Amino acid sequence: MERYWELTKTLPNQENQKVVQYFLRSLKTSNRTEITIVGYRRFLEWFFGDMEESFSTLSSDRILDWLQKNRGQIKDSSYRRRLDILSSFYKFCLLDSLIERSPIKRRWFPRLPKPVPKYLDKGDIAKVRNESEKTALRNQAIVEFMLTSGCRVGEVHQLNVEDVDLENRTARVIGKGKKIRNVHFSEKCAVLLERYLEYRQKSESAPLFLTLRGEKTRLSIRGISEIIRKLGKEAGLSTSLHPHRFRHTFATELLAKGAELSFISDELGHADLETTLIYARLPNHQIISQYRKFMG
């Protein structure tokens, strides 16, 4: 298995090498996703790859100068993410008493407009479903499960056969912070899953979704994301399709049908209702439009 939390480059300063590696391992221990950890690792390798000085003595001016020189043409959101990564690293060092104060300043962070979730409308959902039907039964089941359960891609990746109750159309998933919750899925999804499981050899402890190369190999997060990206492209969607858009679509559909935010929060496994309030930012006319698209 690829040790994605391990540094792939040797940094000029050995103290930086040691502490950055320590930080990345803490992210792995905290159950941060592979995608998140790899993003952190790549940026920190780039940043500290240019620093011969220790992280503990780098000045705010030196850090800001590097950030501005290497900003290029990236959007404010990408620039803020770089700042978030450095801020997280230095907060970790502060909590571990490796430094006395963080050199990262809040005034550096650009103000971003409050995001509105990107979801699929009824037409795009139909296109993706139709396209999936031209592919493996496994892919059809993945699409239907994600659209009707609202699960994160990491939660889908971790599912085992024993976690799925086809009769009651529920699945036990492990969310962020290893919190376990039950999610629901559609009758069509149950049919697809039943057919998929009949097609392949299985044991109760086996991964639910496998690679097509071998019966015992769990489909990776990257693999699921690539399947969905290809389906979106083949379906002719105007923008790239990512797994999280299925989650946004699920929540938006519930909202359009009149579900309370507290219910949506429980279904999505949000630890804080504040996280779910992103869907309350949809303008009323969009909510009405969505209701008509989904309900007629």
Note if 157 is an active site residue. Answer: no
Note if 122 is an active site residue. Answer: no
Note if 41 is an active site residue. Answer: no
At 263 the pLDDT is 78
The more confident residue out of 267 and 86 is 86
* End-to-end Cα, the chain, rounded Å: 48
> Contact 248/118 with Cβ under 8 angstroms?
yes
pLDDT-derived band at 204 (thresholds 50, 70, 90) equals low
What does the pLDDT look like over 149-199, one tens digit per residue?
989 999 999 999 999 999 999 999 988 878 888 899 999 999 999 999 988
pLDDT-derived band at 86 (thresholds 50, 70, 90) equals very high
The CATH number that domain 122-295 falls under is 1.10.443.10
Note if 184 is an active site residue. Answer: no
Which residue out of 40, 119, 196, 279 is catalytically annotated?
279
At 116 the pLDDT is 66
Which residue out of 41, 127, 138, 152 is catalytically annotated?
152
pLDDT-derived band at 292 (thresholds 50, 70, 90) equals low
Q: How far apart are CA 174 and CA 179, in angstroms?
A: 6
Which residue out of 28, 188, 229, 244 is catalytically annotated?
244
Which residue out of 81, 176, 181, 242 is catalytically annotated?
176
Note if 270 is an active site residue. Answer: yes
**C-alpha distances in Å from residue 162, one per residue of 26, 202, 208:** 30, 10, 8
Note if 40 is an active site residue. Answer: no
- The one-letter amino acid at 28: K
> Contact 155/243 with Cβ under 8 angstroms?
no
pLDDT-derived band at 111 (thresholds 50, 70, 90) equals confident
pLDDT-derived band at 97 (thresholds 50, 70, 90) equals very high
Mean pLDDT throughout 82-96?
96
Q: How far apart are CA 160 and CA 205, in angstroms?
A: 6
Can you give the pTM of this predicted structure? 0.61
Mean pLDDT throughout 121-149?
94
Per-domain residue ranges of the chain: 14-108, 122-295
1.10.150.130, 1.10.520.10, 3.30.830.10, 3.40.640.10: which CATH number matches 14-108?
A: 1.10.150.130
What does the pLDDT look like over 226-270, one tens digit per residue?
999 999 999 999 889 999 999 888 888 887 777 777 877 888 888
Mean pLDDT throughout 196-222?
81
Q: How far apart are CA 247 and CA 151, in angstroms?
A: 6
Residue 40 above 70 pLDDT? yes
